[in-house]
Every structure is written in structure tokens, then in C-alpha cells.
Amino acid sequence: MPPKHETRPAPAPNAGALAGPSPATAVRMLLGVIIGLTAVVVVMLCAFALPSVKGGPNHVPLGLAGPQPATQALQKGLDADAWDVKLYPDPQALQAAIKQRDISGGLALGAGGITVYTASAGGQQASAAITALGSGMAARQQSKATVSDVVPFPADDPRGAGFTASGLPLIFGGIMPAIVLLRLFPGHANLRRRLTGAILFALVAGASVAAVLQYGFGSLHGDYWLTALGLSLGMAALSIPFLGLESLLGFAGLGAGAAVMMLIGNPLSGMAGPHWLPTGWATLGQLLPPGASGSLVRAISFFDGTGAGAPALTLGLWALAGLLLSLIADRRTTRRPHPEALAPAAA
């Protein structure tokens, strides 16, 4: 007769698991969730409301040219927290400093009135504040103010609406490819495919967005291919870190990274000008990929590359950090023993 197999009763369910956490643990978990979500809401409020509530000239580099007694007297009368004043010998030197991005704009004092020099492409809000400052001074002196835009936006988009509106699409250009690639190529074995896909998408999408902004909307001018590479670097600096966070921490890492870029990086990006936020917040915004991307494209498209080094380095470091996160996750997964290797020992 064939041997009879012994039938063992199924193990009883874990009563502790069915009962849930203890009352003390449940209270701690609930308090942790409440405090964590409250912190998120407060950070969102600060990030989105700060530009409106605390927005204003914050150490805006301002140039003054004209008779030395008049410029020195004006320098002493200006708010030191709002303006960082530099003196220039003549209006030509002042205009050259604007083009080199040493200052955001300036005032030239003369017998016929005040000439206001701005660079709207360098920041619309700072340009408007400099214009208001010069017009107010001219009104008090009962003279006239003449405004000259040294570095304007293109004639097809004189207010820079297309450039300013490009910040949020750039962030989505980093988030969406990471999500799609993770769905199409899941698992540790597809890490290289995901990274390759993110880089190729950034190149294609950057060229496409640059073409629409420059040739479709007329919002940008300058070297098209350099602008396209700048946009591509900005998207890669978002999507590669997102992939690295997901590889190392799972979907929670991807969600946390996307939330930081959307809720903090976007409102602090300074697309309308980096000198309109308090100094610390403005610096934080420029250290995140959205702000660095905007600064890089601004420098390439409107200032012949002047000032492009720092944002390009920032974006490159973000992309490198994402790659390192992916490599760390890859090595950790490689060292982990596979179930097939554990099967003989278990037997």
C-alpha cells in the first residue's frame, strides 16, 4: 500500500496581527501622521505664499552713474536690504555691466533728467522695481525719466510669458518619464534601460520644447542647440534622481522627490527673477533643478551664456547624484542572495 501522507492542520491565524497595534502604538502612529502632514501643509504654504507676501527687491544689484556727489548721496538714501549699489563712471559702463550680469539695472543721473536702464529678460519684477525707483526720483526732482531696456525679451513675447510658464512643464518633463519607464521596465534587471530611456527622452524633449519656445512662440532667442541642451540637462537632472530614489527607496522615494520639486522647487524657481525672494529662499530655489534650469536657459538665450556655469554645474551634480543612487541600489540588490541560491540550504 502506498504510504499515507500525514495531514497537518493549517496554522491558526496570528491573533496579534488580526487585533492590530496596541493602543499606545496606535496613538504614536496617529500623532506621527498628524504632525508629518501638518509639516507638509506648512511647507507648502510657505513655498507658495512667500513670493507674494515677502516678495520685493532683496539685494538687487543696482548701478548708478552720474556726478559723484549726486550718486553717493543717492546711494546713502537707498534701502541697503533692497539694493546692492555699485557706482559707475558713465552710462556706457553701466550698460556694459548689465549685459555682463554684474547688475540687474541702473540709473544714470544727468542734467536733463534720469535715464533708467533695465534688463527685463534678466527678471521682470526687478526691472519693474528699478523703473519705479527711477520714475519716483524724477517726479520728486520735477524732471523726466527715460527708460531703456538693455536686454529685452524678444519682440514676439515682450513680457516673457512663454519663458516664465516653462517652469512647470520642465518639472513634469522630469517626473512623467520616470513614472512611465518604471512601469515599462520594472525590476533591478532593467536599471540600465530606464537610465538610457531617461537620457534619450531628455534630449528629444529638450529639443522639442526649445523649438516650440523659440520658433513657435518667439519667447527665446540665441543659439537653439545650446538652449535645447540646457533644457535637456534640466529634465535629466530631475528624471535621473527620481529613478535613483525609486531604485533605492521604492515608490515612497519617488513620491517624496516629486513632492519636493513640485511644492518647493516650482514656487522658489525664480522664473520671474531670482532677486524677488528673501536671500535664503532664493538661494534654495537656485540649488534645486527647477530654479537652476530656468537660470541656465535665461543665461544661454538672453545673455550669450554669461552666468551659465553655476546652474549647469548644479544640474550636472543632480544628475550625477541620481546616477549614484541607482548604482548604490544596484550594488545592494546584487549582494542580496537570490531565492534559488537559498533553496538547497532550506531543503
The closest alpha carbon to 232, from 334, 312, 132, belongs to 312
Cβ neighbors of 290 (< 8 A, separation 6 or more) are 167, 170, 171, 234, 238, 261, 265, 266, 268, 269
- What is the rounded CA–CA span in Å between residue 117 and residue 145? 10
Task: Please compute the mean of the pLDDT values over residues 293-306 and round it to a whole number.
Answer: 93
How far is CA 151 from each of CA 119, 155, 184, rounded to the nearest angstrom?
A: 4, 12, 45
Per DSSP (E only), the strands in the chain are 60-65, 83-88, 105-110, 113-118, 145-149
Percent of the chain with pLDDT over 90: 39
* Burial annotation 181-211 (CB, 10 A radius, 16+ → b, else e): bbeebeeeeebeebbebbbebbbebbbebbe
- What is the rounded CA–CA span in Å between residue 274 and residue 286? 8
Is pLDDT at 222 greater than 70 in this prediction? yes
Residue of 40 and 324 predicted with greater confidence:
324
Strand partners, 145: 114
Supply the pTM of this predicted model.
0.81
Longest dimension (CA), the chain: 120
- For the record, the C-alpha cell of 155 comes out as 519682440
Q: Is 288 helix (H, G, I), strand (E, B) or coil?
A: coil
Per DSSP (E only), the strands in 4-144 are 60-65, 83-88, 105-110, 113-118
Residue of 344 and 311 predicted with greater confidence:
311
Could you read off the pLDDT of 235-244 as tens digits, one per residue?
Answer: 999 999 999 8
Could you read off the pLDDT of 224-257 as tens digits, one per residue?
Answer: 999 999 999 999 999 999 998 888 888 888 888 8
User: What pLDDT, on a 0 to 100 scale, did the predictor assign at position 331?
Assistant: 80
Query: Are 221 and 154 within 8 A, CB to CB?
Result: yes
Is pLDDT at 341 greater than 90 in this prediction? no
